[in-house]
Amino acid sequence: MAKNLLIVESPAKAKTIEKILGGDFEVKSCYGHIRDLEKDDMGIDLNNNYTPRYMVPEDKEKVVKELKSLAKKADEVWLASDEDREGESISWHLAEVLGLDPVNTKRIVFHEITAPAIKKAVASPRRINMDLVNAQQARRVLDRLVGFELSPVLWRKIGMQRSLSAGRVQSVAVRLIAEREREINAFKSESSYKVEAFFSAKDINSKSVTFKADGPAKISSQQTALQFLESCKGAAYKVADIQVKPAKRTPAAPFTTSTLQQEASRKLGYSVSKTMLLAQKLYESGQITYMRTDSVNLSDTAMGDIRNEITQSYGNNYYQSRQYKNKNESAQEAHEAIRPTYMNAHTVDDQDTRRLYELIWKRTIASQMSDAEFEKTIAKISISTNKDQLSATGEVMKFDGFLKVYLEGKDEEDEEDTDGMLPPLTVSQTLDFTKMTATEKFTRPAPRYTEASLVKKMEELGIGRPSTYAPTISTIMKRNYVEKRDKEGVKRDVNILELTKKDEVKKEVIQENTGAEKSKLFPTDLGLVVTDFLKQHFQKVMDYNFTAKIEEEFDEIAGGKLKWNNMIDGFYKPFHSNIEVTLETAERAKGERELGVDAASGKKVIARMGRYGPMVQIGHQDDEEKPRFAKLKASQSIETISYDEAMELFKLPRMLGEFEGSDVSVNIGRFGPYAAHDKKFYSLNKEMDPYSVTLEEIAPMIAEKRQAKDERTIKVFEKEKIQVLKGPYGPYIKQGLRNYKLSKEQQERAAELTIEEVKAIIEELKANPPKKVARKKKAK
DNA sequence: CAGTGAGCGAGCTTCCGCTTGACTT
């Protein structure tokens, strides 16, 4: 029986550490936090210095019970949760729950799971640091206060859907996306002209090659560009000057959670949650270090392994030892960077995780490799008819260094193509002119966020932590504040002027696609309305620097210079009175926008948020005649819909005429476009457009769908509104929205079931619902 | 499943950070 019980947060870590420490130690995990604030009354005693009321959540009862019994048997309990604010707090909660003496209990920390680090930690235990614990309590209490007081304000003042929410992190994340969208909508693209000249010259093999030289600075108008080309007619071109400069590129730091998510998104197209899922798998199978980290540090053991790998595979000149500094101020560095556990494993067997593993391996290796070296050549070219000069740049790699294994990706595909090679040139050499073009270029707005670029921005602002980036993104999508989707681009004309070899100036117009987006984050109308409301009434919490400011105060608490309850009091007093004023005085937020006046009725047309989503309306509620309403299409937004687009929406419902003696109409409902006929509804086929579909197209569809439905129906009890239907799992009963499963025996004689029998089955299943609910009861 | 465009009324929703599993008609 082990004499010592050592508790860490993660079970995978527990296994490894037990192997390192051996017989005297039993190592167990507590699976993260074991207590949280109660939900009733926010779990905070507002009248008593914000004293928190903690409880063990249902899903942690089992772990706590097990740890309690093990702790009782052990001679000594060691608390080895992570060395950061949350980790310190976990240790304290463990001490409280397990009844350990906080003054005598041994607390140890390590930043890497290696034998020397663990052994050193065990040799020098400390005590729980209550200042750090208090900083965590302040963080926890503040987040609860903000979330649980703001959210109900939204329920009252916006409504729309249940489960609206607001919080220190999520609301600012939505704000970023909302403001970016508006920037893009307001963006006015400006055009300018870029001059490029093409020459041919002999390369080292005396083969003729074409190269490019850029013209003088951007030209703002087509006329000036034209004048420039005209001025070059009949010119001779000569190399006026050549400069050769060395250049170098350095590798990126090893992966943190945030940079791993970014690179997996750029290079592998993974969503943030997919990356984390795969990384978790790699971590659990012992192939990489912990994947939720903000540290760029590598352990000494790892540094040695990396050195061996590089020198063996590529040679000594490819190795350069580097220590990376964290650029991120909010980093708490409780772990290592994300790296392979064993550097000599270049890949893994598992198909799913292989690409991510190889990415991690390459990045880790590259981080300790030499710079890539280049030689950059800039040639100035004079124009005989003109005092302006052209410049041609070429880049030649002299030494590949880390580029042999890895190059970090970019968020935006660069419009500027990278410098290519130049043929050998000499000063005063005359050049063979091919053509000169002036191409219209357009300024572009900042790009919409991807999941990964949002994480990058959040990290810069210090909002959220490695463990919460992925969950925060799914929260704001689940709340319907933000959606991830594609957007089709629009065509636009691009003017190109060309001066040919024969000294003719030609003009050409080509079309390019602009504004197309793939898998980007768009705010919904709800997201915009909620953000505007919060910005208007809760400026302080919505400030991009709010988290950074309170983090400074948390640091003061951690340093013992500030009492946590005082800090909370300073925040809460004004915050809460702001909540009360807002509840009392703020109007319901509807995001209303006037689009124009309806020519037919002379009434105003407005777009706004309705009870059931974004909509347009003609007329006002107080008018004698009821207003007309129409729902916006999924691709439309209150903010951008035009008057004409709005009027188009009022063309539904359309009456198409009679089929088999009953009217047929089409409309768009909750579940998309449908046709109504004889009191029944039929979803339109995908290719049918409700605005233009004809009776001739719809009639056969109705007949077909009706038949399919009939075939599924075994029996109908009209009066009771109960049906016996055939589903993919065999016959079942349907009453209203609910389905009821039949037993094997009942399924076999489904067609003979009487109404009494059916009612009895429903009663029975309502009284004794299968599994799912029964399980929950047990848990309680 | 295909309405609606509100709030005396009943009751419900919600935060951020730590960690993994076990749900299917």
A434: helix, strand or coil: strand
B20 closest protein residue (CA to C1') = A31
Beta bridge partners of A86: none
Residue A101 tokens, joined: 């003496």
Cα distance between residue A418 and residue A429, in whole Å? 25
Which is nearest to A537 in space by CA: A585, A491, A487? A585
Q: What is the pLDDT of residue A775?
A: 35
Helix (H) or strand (E) holding A570: helix A564-585
Fold entry, domain A191-250+373-443+482-518? Topoisomerase I; domain 3 (2.70.20)
Question: Is residue A671's beta carbon less than 7 angstroms from any atom in nucleic acid strand B?
Answer: yes
Residues of chain A above pLDDT 90, percent = 70
Work out the number of other CB atoms within 10 angstroms of the CB of residue A22.
8
Within 626-645 of chain A, which residues have Cβ less than 7 Å from strand B? 629-631
Q: Please list the ranges in chain A whose pLDDT falls under 70.
A: 1-2, 413-418, 728, 736-738, 766-780
Q: Would you state the pLDDT for residue A331?
A: 87
Instruction: For residue A515, say whether its CB is under 7 Å from any atom of strand B.
Output: no
- Amino acid identity of residue A613, one-letter, is G
Strand B positions closer than 7 A to protein CB: 1-7, 11-21, 23-25
C1' nearest to CA of A671: which nucleotide? B2
The side-by-side arrangement of strands in the sheet containing A672-677 is A654-659, A662-669, A672-677, A680-683
- Written as one letter, the residue type at A477 is M
Q: Which nucleotide is nearest to A739 (CA to C1')?
A: B25
Domain ranges of chain A: 4-128, 191-250+373-443+482-518, 257-370, 592-650, 654-713, 721-767
Kindly report the CATH number that applies to the domain delimited by A257-370: 1.10.290.10
Rounded distance between C-alpha atoms, residue A615 and residue A630, angstroms: 6
Hey, what amino acid is at A429? Q
Query: Could you check: is the Cβ of residue A466 within 7 Å of any atom of nucleic acid strand B?
Result: yes
Determine the Cα–Cα distance for residues A444 and A71; give it in Å rounded to an integer.
Answer: 62
Find the residue closest to B23 using CA and C1' atoms: A772
Query: A368 near A303, Cβ under 8 Å?
Result: yes
Query: What are φ and ψ of residue A300, in 5° steps?
Result: -60, -40
What's the helix, strand, coil split of chain A in %, to 5? 40, 25, 35
Q: Which nucleotide is nearest to A276 (CA to C1')?
A: B20
Q: Who's near A470: CB < 8 A, 6+ residues apart?
A: A261, A272, A273, A275, A276
Q: How far is CA A599 from CA A16, A605, A628, in A?
A: 75, 10, 14
Cα–Cα distance measured from residue A508 to residue A494, given in angstroms and rounded to the nearest whole number:
8
Distance between CA A295 and CA A281 in Å, rounded?
20
Classified by CATH at the fold level, domain A4-128 comes out as Rossmann fold (3.40.50)
CB proximity A727–strand B (7 Å threshold): no
DSSP assignment of A645-695, as one string? HHHHHTT-SEEEEEETTEEEEEEEETTEEEEEETTEEEEPPTT--TTT--H
pTM (2 d.p.): 0.87
From residue A433, give the alpha-carbon distance in Å to each of A78, A196, A304.
Answer: 78, 12, 56
Say how far A335 CA is from B14 C1', in Å: 32
How many Å apart are A151 CA and B13 C1'? Answer: 9
What is the rounded distance in angstroms from the CA atom of residue A251 to the CA atom of residue A254? 9
Residues 265-324 of A with CB under 7 A from strand B: 280, 283-284, 290, 292
What is the sign, positive or negative, of the torsion defined by CA atoms of A187, A188, A189, A193? negative
Kindly tell me the burial class for residue A412, based on how many C-beta atoms sit within 10 Å of its own C-beta (0-12, 13-18, 19 or more).
exposed
Count of helices and strands (H, E) across chain A:
22, 30
Question: Any idea which nucleotide's C1' is nearest the CA of A13?
Answer: B19
**How many C-beta atoms surround the C-beta of residue A544 within 10 A?**
15
| A164 CB below 7 A from strand B atoms | yes
CB A438 within 8 A of CB A496: yes
Q: What is the pLDDT of residues A50-106, one digit of tens each?
A: 999 999 999 999 999 999 999 999 999 999 999 999 999 999 999 999 999 878 899
Q: Check whether residue A332 has its CB closer than 7 Å to nucleic acid strand B.
A: yes
A82 touches strand B (CB under 7 A): yes
Question: By the 8 A CB rule, do A392 and A213 touch?
Answer: yes
Nucleotide nearest to A284 (CA to C1'): B20
Decide: A46 and A144 in contact? Cβ < 8 Å: no
Identical fold, A191-250+373-443+482-518 and A257-370: no
Does the CB of A86 fall within 7 Å of any strand B atom? yes
- Is strand B less than 7 A from the beta carbon of A463? yes
Q: Give the distance, in angstroms, between residue A748 CA and nucleotide B25 C1'.
A: 19
The residues of A that are catalytic are 290
Smallest CA–C1' separation from A87: which nucleotide? Answer: B18
Please state whether strand B lies within 7 Å of residue A373 at its CB atom: no
Of A99, A81, A98, nearest to A90 by C-alpha is A81
E strand residue ranges, A534-661:
593-597, 604-610, 613-618, 628-631, 654-659
Tens digit of each residue's pLDDT (9 = 90 or more) over A649-669: 888 888 888 888 888 888 887
